[in-house]
Amino acid sequence: MDLASALQTLYGVNPSDFVAERDRLAKELKAAGHAGEAAELRKLRKPPATVWALNQVARWRGALIDTLLGEGARMVQMHAALARGKAGEDFKDVSARYRQAIAAVVAAAREVVQSTGGGAVNAGTVRRVERTLEAAVFASEAQQQALEQGTLAEELERADAFDTVRFEVAAGVAPRAPAPAPVAKAPARVVAEEADGQAERVRQSERRRQAREAKAAAQAAEREATRAAAVLERAEKEARKAVERRDTAVREMTQAEAAFAASQERASAAHADAATSEAPLAEARKSAAEAAEAAERAARAAAAYEDGE
């Protein structure tokens, strides 16, 4: 086990189990020879319910997070174009898709909280989730990765030159091209550079999303191949059993035919024996009849002799 896998496990448990699971994972890391990572893990605090809900959305409905960051990238790119005085996509369409992406994640987070017995989600909690999602588009690469992987540790806060723009976006109002700014504020060039930097981070997030999808597709293909191999193995086993049953039936049929042929031979022999013994039997019957007739004649003669005396 390493720190990355420990974080995946830790941020997937219910908040009530966070501390116990953290300590258990830290012990495993230390036992595996990762004392430094174990100490780092022990420093983590239980995330607020808003962050926990977002982590679960990322784990089970990651496409929503991917869509949010993708639409946010378009918002950032549009603002960079406006900061240079260039026209981009229709702002209302981009803004609408961005707001829809945020709303979809918020709705999913609300479902997570309610499905785990968290009860109703109040407006304040919803706004905290929205602020984190708005800030995620402008967050560091590490923070975006944490959100994508479902290992975010804390709520994100807006801390860049685009706060005003994001408030206008939330209201569906197109940002104005930057007017000459006071010395204390960032010039348009700096704003544009920051927009470019943020856009590059979002593009990196998009590449990570594509890599995750490719990995997920490969894993799905591997699982499908495993299932197909299992089906093929079962089919081969059934085929072997069918062949065995066929061979058994052929042997039994051959044995039955041999037994029938033997019985036929025995019957023929019995008929032959019977035919052979029929003549002597008839002769014996004839002799017996003649002997009986002779005996009867003798008896009559004896009787006549006795009467003559």
pLDDT digits 0-9 by tens, 22-64: 999 999 999 999 999 999 999 999 999 899 999 999 999 999 9
Question: What six digits make up the tokens of 190?
Answer: 């700096």
Domain boundary among 226, 247, 269: 226
| 158 and 302 belong to one structural domain | no
d(CA 298, CA 291): 11
d(CA 195, CA 172): 19
| 303 and 164 belong to one structural domain | no
Give percent helix, percent strand, percent coil of the chain, each to the nearest 5: 80, 0, 20
Instruction: Please tell me the predicted confidence (pLDDT) of residue 181.
Output: 44
The answer to whether residue 252 sits within a structural domain is: no
Answer whether 105's CB lies under 8 Å from 133's CB.
yes
d(CA 87, CA 47): 41
Confidence band for 305, pLDDT divided at 50, 70 and 90 = confident
| 172 and 284 belong to one structural domain | no
| 170 and 291 belong to one structural domain | no
| 183 and 285 belong to one structural domain | no
Answer whether 162's CB lies under 8 Å from 79's CB.
yes
Number of domains in the chain: 2
The pLDDT tens digits of the residues spanning 119-171 come to 667 888 899 999 999 999 888 888 989 999 999 999 998 755 444 444 344 44
Instruction: Please tell me the predicted confidence (pLDDT) of residue 193.
Output: 66
- Domain of residue 304 covers 279-309
The answer to whether residue 21 sits within a structural domain is: no
**Whole-model pTM?**
0.57
d(CA 91, CA 174): 6
Nearest Cα to Cα of residue 162 among 143, 139, 180, 142: 139
The answer to whether residue 263 sits within a structural domain is: no
Instruction: Please tell me the predicted confidence (pLDDT) of residue 33.
Output: 92
| 63 and 186 belong to one structural domain | yes
d(CA 223, CA 211): 18
C-alpha distances out from residue 55 to 107, 108, 150, 160, 263, Å: 14, 11, 4, 24, 82
| 222 and 293 belong to one structural domain | no
